A and B are shown apart, each in its own frame.
Chain A
Amino acid sequence: MYPANTTYHRAGSVAEAVQLLGANEGAKLLAGGHSLIPAMKLRLAAPSALVDIGHIAALRGVTLDGGSLKIGALTTFAAIASNDLVNAHAPLLAEAAGVVGDPAVRNRGTIGGNVSHGDPASDPPTALTALGASYNVSGPGGDRSIAASDFPTGLLANALQDNEILTGVSVPTLAPGAGSAYVKYPHPASRYAVVGVAAIVAAQGGRCSSASVVIGGVETTPTRASSVEAALVGSDLSDGALDAAAAALAGDFTGDAMSDIFASDEYRRAMAAVYLRRALGVAAGRTG
Chain B
Amino acid sequence: MTTRVFSSGIRRREDPRLITGRASYTDDIKLPGMVHAAILRSMYAHANIKSVDTSAAAAQPGVLAVYTGADTEGALNPIPCAWLIPNSDLKTPAHPAIAKDRVRYVGDAVAVVVAETRYQAEDALEHIVVEYEPLDAVLNPKAAAEDGAPQLHDDAPNNLAFTWAVAGGDADAAFAEAEVTVSDVITLPRLIANPMEPRSAIAQWVGATGELTLWSTSQNPHIARFLSSVVTGVPEHRIRVIAPEVGGGFGSKIPYYPDEAIAAFCSMRLGVPVKWTETRSENYLATTQGRDHIEEVEMAAGADGRITGLRTTVYAGLGAYLSTAGPGIPTILHGLMYSGAYDIPNISGVIYGVFNNGTPVDAYRGAGRPEATTLIERLVDLLAARLDVDPVELRRRNLIPKFENGHDVVTGLTYDSGDYEATLDAVLDAAGYASLREEQARARSEGRCVGIGVSTYVEICGLGPSQVAGAVGFQGGLWESAIVRFHPTGKVNVMVGSSPHGQGEETTFAQIVAEEVGVDVDDVEIIHGDTDLTPMGWGTYGSRTTAVSGAAVTLATRKIKDKSRALAAHLLEAATEDIEYADGRFFVRGSPDQHKTIQDIALMANVAWDMPEGMEPGLEASAFYDPPNFTYPFGAHLAVVEVDTATGRIDLQKYYAVDDCGVQINPMIVEGQVHGGVAQGVGPALLEGVVYDEEGQPLTGTMLDYALPRADSLPDIVVQSSTTPSPHHPLGVKGVGEAGTIASTPTVYNAVMDALRPLGINAIDMPLTPEKVWRAIQGAKNGG
Tell me the A residues contacting B by CB distance below 8 Å. Answer: 1-2, 4-5, 42-43, 185, 187-190, 260-264, 267, 270-271, 274
Contact = CB atoms under 8 A, between A and B. Distances in A.
B703 A189 contact: yes
B122 interface: yes
B706 A1 contact: no
B118 A189 contact: no
A174 to B, nearest CB: 28
A233 to B, nearest CB: 26
A4 B126 CA distance: 10
Nearest to B774: A267
Contact of B281 (A42, A187, A262): A42
B7 interface: no
Contact of B687 (A185, A188, A261, A270): A188
A264 B699 CA distance: 14
28 contacts: A2-B118, A2-B279, A4-B123, A5-B123, A42-B281, A185-B647, A187-B707, A188-B687, A188-B713, A189-B703, A189-B704, A189-B705, A189-B706, A189-B707, A189-B708, A190-B705, A260-B705, A261-B691, A261-B699, A261-B700, A262-B705, A262-B707, A263-B771, A264-B771, A267-B771, A267-B775, A274-B646, A274-B647
B280 interface: yes
Given A189-B687, A189-B705, 11 more contacts: A2-B119, A185-B647, A189-B706, A190-B705, A261-B705, A262-B705, A263-B771, A264-B771, A267-B770, A274-B646, A274-B647
Contacts of A5: 119, 123
A187 B123 CA distance: 33
Contact of B707 (A2, A4, A188, A274): A188
A1 B279 contact: yes
A1 B36 CA distance: 14
Nearest to B644: A274
B714 to A, nearest CB: 12
B327 to A, nearest CB: 30
**Main secondary structure on chain B at its contact with chain A?**
loop
Contacts of A4: 123
B310 to A, nearest CB: 34
Contacts of A189: 687, 703-708
Contact of A1 (B280, B687, B699): B280
B88 interface: no
Nearest to B38: A2
Nearest to A46: B126
Contacts of B705: 189-190, 260-262
Contacts of B691: 261
Contacts of A270: 774
Interface in B690-747: 691, 699-700, 702-708, 713
A187 B705 CA distance: 9
A43 B705 CA distance: 18
Interface in B526-579: none
B27 to A, nearest CB: 11
Interface in B99-156: 118-119, 122-123, 126
A258 to B, nearest CB: 13
Nearest to A194: B770
A180 B280 CA distance: 40
A149 to B, nearest CB: 27
A55 B125 CA distance: 35
Nearest to B36: A2
B769 interface: yes
Contacts of B703: 189
A262 B118 contact: no
Contacts of A262: 705, 707, 769, 771
Nearest to B648: A267
A188 B280 CA distance: 19
Interface in B731-784: 769-771, 774-775
A270 B702 CA distance: 27
Contacts of A260: 705
Contacts of B119: 2, 5
A267 B771 CA distance: 7
Q: Which of A188, A190, A260, A262 has the most CB of B within 10 A?
A: A188
A122 B708 CA distance: 20
Contact of B704 (A190, A263, A264): A190
A64 B649 CA distance: 40
Nearest to A274: B646
A193 to B, nearest CB: 13
Task: List 4 tightest A-B contacts by C-beta distance, closest first.
Answer: A1-B279, A189-B707, A188-B707, A2-B122
A2 B126 CA distance: 12
Contacts of B118: 2
Nearest to A2: B122
Contacts of B126: 43
Nearest to A267: B771
Interface in B2-41: 38
Contacts of B769: 262
Interface string B646-685: 1101000000000000000000000000000000000000
A102 to B, nearest CB: 9
A274 B775 CA distance: 15
A2 to B, nearest CB: 4
A1 B706 CA distance: 17
Contacts of A271: 647
Nearest to B278: A1
A32 to B, nearest CB: 17
B26 to A, nearest CB: 16
Contacts of A1: 279-281
B282 to A, nearest CB: 8
Nearest to B198: A1
A280 to B, nearest CB: 14
Contacts of B646: 274
A261 B772 CA distance: 11
A188 to B, nearest CB: 4
B154 to A, nearest CB: 33
Contacts of B702: 42
A281 to B, nearest CB: 13
Nearest to B710: A188
A264 B706 CA distance: 16
Nearest to B703: A189
Nearest to A278: B646
A31 B238 CA distance: 52
B61 to A, nearest CB: 10
A271 B769 CA distance: 14
A5 B647 CA distance: 45
A44 to B, nearest CB: 11
Contacts of A267: 770-771, 774-775
Contacts of B279: 1-2
A54 B712 CA distance: 32
A187 B703 CA distance: 11
Contacts of A261: 691, 699-700, 705
